[in-house]
Amino acid sequence: MSISNNILHHIENFTSQRDKELLAFSLLKSIREILSPIRTSILTLNGQDEPTMEIALTNGESCEYRYQDISVSDSTRASLDYINTWHLDELMKAHDDQYTSFHVLQQSRQQNQYLIITLDNKPSRSESYIVKGMLSIYGNFSSLLAESQTDELTGLMNRKTFEESIVKLYQGTAFEEESDLKSNWIAIIDLDHFKNINDSAGHLYGDEVLIHVSRVMRQTFTQDDMLFRFGGEEFVILMRNRTRSQCAENLDKLRLNVQEIVMNNLDPITISIGVCEFQKDVFHVTLMDQADQALYYSKQNGRNRVTFYKEIVEAGLAKDNSVTHGDIDLF
């Protein structure tokens, strides 16, 4: 294949991806084909500079995703610090007959993402030029993808992305269960009497409330949790790797933090929450129905509270609706 066909092939590959991780994987594959590096990886750090994700590709081996126990060497840390201090886009380091290049993929207050390539040869000028072009196409497409996955008003993920994320949960790629005690949870959050806020203060003011609530959600949960605006004044959180009591504690903290939002002339804002435990063998529509039933219970019983589906079933206040994948035909 000629060089230009080859590049077209990489671009075609990038732009066919509709998922951030697959897009990142496709960038690593392109880098591997162009430079044959010893190792190439994408490292994501959160706002506190803690590593939250690493996708790595070694020559000839399969791709490795890591969300925990990611080790970042002192020399890598030092290089990233140098890039940030001097506001660089890239940095090349030579050590022990190897060359490591660091490229900034994304920088924001919430997260920084870098492409790290380790080679046993210094790349030629034309190779560096091609990689630069690839990164700029990757950057543009990745922003477009992020925009299409984001709710415009709140900046949280949108409902379409929720559907995709829940599918990943079933495939086991989004988050794995850590131990018997810890689980993943689905919570539906709905503002109380939101219509009154719109009616008394106006729709724009109502929008302002939604923005504040989503900010509080971001502050209360970690980068590992997935936050969605589901529509209107309804939000969904996919929480990973928590015991039931940790989950309850976090959601209660959210409820209390939302009450602390100060908006001129408004009564305290409150939210009602319904939660269910994620179970791989239960159909996702059923899980959403469970969380919704728990939310309904919160609404019917004074609002401004958190209800776990399992507890209302055990108390005989709701019927267990579990339908497993085995009970229905999925197509």
Task: Point out which residues bind ligand GTP (CB under 6 A).
Answer: 190-195, 198, 203, 206-207, 210, 232-233, 299, 303
> Is the Cβ of residue 261 or residue 323 nearer to ligand GTP in the bound state?
261
Is 233 an active-site residue?
yes
- Closest contact distance (angstroms) between CB of 293 and ligand GTP is 15
Indicate the residue among 198 and 322 with the shorter CB distance to ligand GTP. 198
- Minimal CB distance to ligand GTP: which residue? 206
Choose the catalytic residue: 64, 233, 234, 311: 233
Q: Order of strands across the sheet with 226-231?
A: 226-231, 234-242, 183-191, 271-277, 306-308
Please, what is the minimum distance in Å from the beta carbon of residue 153 to ligand GTP? 6
Rounded Cα distance, 108 and 115, in Å: 15
User: Where does the chain show beta strands of DSSP type E?
Assistant: 39-46, 51-58, 63-66, 90-95, 98-107, 111-119, 183-191, 226-231, 234-242, 271-277, 306-308
Report the SS3 class of residue 323.
coil
Identify which of residues 77 and 195 has a Cβ nearer to ligand GTP in the complex.
195
Distance CA 318, CA 275 (A): 13
CA triplet 14, 230, 202: central angle to 5 degrees?
120
Output the smallest distance, CB 54 to ligand GTP, in A.
37
Nearer to ligand GTP among residue 133 and residue 232 (C-beta)? 232
Rounded to a whole number of angstroms, the minimum distance from the CB of residue 211 to ligand GTP is 10
Q: Active-site positions?
A: 233
